[in-house]
Amino acid sequence: MEATTDESKAVVWAMEVGLLGRSMLCPQCAQPMRLNARNRYWRCCRKTRHADGKQEQFSIFVNSWFSKMKLELSQALRLMFAWCMRAPQPQAAHMAKVSENTAPAWYAACRVLCSKELWSGEFKIGGEGHIVEIDETSLKKKSKAVIRPHRVRQAYEGHSAADYQAVHQTSDSHVGEYALRAQLGESHSPFCGPCLGYAYEHY
Dihedral Cα 191, 193, 195, 201, nearest 10 deg: 120
Query: What is residue 201's predicted lDDT score, i.e. its pLDDT?
Result: 42
| pTM metric for this prediction | 0.57
Query: What is residue 136's predicted lDDT score, i.e. its pLDDT?
Result: 66
| Cβ-contact 193, 174 below 8 angstroms | yes
Strand (E) positions, the chain?
34-36, 41-44, 56-59, 133-134, 140-141, 148-149, 180-181
Below-70 pLDDT ranges, the chain: 135-203
Query: What is residue 96's predicted lDDT score, i.e. its pLDDT?
Result: 92
Query: What is residue 94's predicted lDDT score, i.e. its pLDDT?
Result: 93
Residue 150 CB partners (closer than 8 Å, separation 6+): 138, 139, 140, 141, 165, 166, 167
